[in-house]
């Protein structure tokens, strides 16, 4: 098989081009072996398969949360509403206990489901693939749910370095 040609662009051009793609925003949650709740903001979420029900997301290999996500059997993907921008920023930047004062409930696997999320996917940590400077996590969805008010709520979207709420045309 022929290998890829070297890139003919600089990393900033690549980052700028990627930034044009609008993505939904999620908070991925799990529980460390110590019982500590772990959560990170991620916009790399995507569906993979309906049968079996599979989703994927990725995390930088250098992330402090990597050991917990690598070792744990389950995690929850919480899809954020535009009104949850504060949660997005909290799980992206806050040091220390990111869950302090955050309303959530344990899913069937004991992992945290955030109150008010548009949707959530409780996943078995099926497989992981190291690619470049990230690990791609494939989760097999065991349970999922949709906010009863989802039809009235705008999703939180990230595009070109900014957050947006999105409503239908």
Can you tell me the distance from the alpha carbon of 30 to that of 106, in angstroms, rounded to the nearest whole number? 10
Domain parsing of the chain, residue ranges = 24-158
Give pLDDT, residue 169.
Answer: 57
Nearest to 30 by CA among 100, 118, 125, 153: 125
Can you tell me the distance from the alpha carbon of 25 to that of 13, in angstroms, rounded to the nearest whole number? 23
Under 8 Å between Cβ of 120 and 114:
yes
CATH topology for the 24-158 domain: Pnp Oxidase; Chain A (2.30.110)
**Model confidence, pTM:** 0.93
pLDDT tens digit string along 108-159? 999 999 999 999 999 999 999 999 999 999 999 999 999 988 778 889 999 9
Nearest to 88 by CA among 67, 102, 76: 102
Tell me how long the chain is. 169
Q: Residue 135 CA to chain centroid, in angstroms? A: 13
pLDDT tens digit string along 73-122? 999 999 999 999 999 999 999 788 899 999 999 999 999 999 999 999 99
């Amino acid at each position: 098989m022929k290998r890829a040609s070297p890139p003919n662009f600089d990393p900033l051009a690549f980052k700028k081009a990627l930034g044009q793609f609008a993505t939904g925003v999620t908070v991925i949650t799990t529980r460390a072996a110590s019982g500590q709740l772990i959560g990170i903001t991620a916009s790399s979420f995507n569906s993979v398969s309906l049968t079996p029900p599979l989703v994927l997301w990725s995390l930088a290999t250098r992330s402090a949360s990597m050991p917990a996500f690598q070792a744990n059997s389950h995690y929850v993907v919480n899809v954020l509403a535009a009104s949850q921008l504060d949660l997005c920023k909290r799980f992206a930047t806050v040091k220390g206990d990111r869950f302090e004062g955050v309303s959530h409930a344990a899913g069937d696997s004991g992992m945290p489901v955030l109150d008010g999320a548009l949707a959530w996917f409780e996943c078995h940590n099926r497989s992981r693939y190291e690619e470049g400077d990230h690990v791609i996590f494939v989760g097999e969805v065991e349970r999922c749910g949709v906010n009863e008010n989802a039809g009235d709520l705008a999703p939180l979207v990230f595009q070109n370095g900014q957050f947006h709420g999105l409503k239908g045309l």
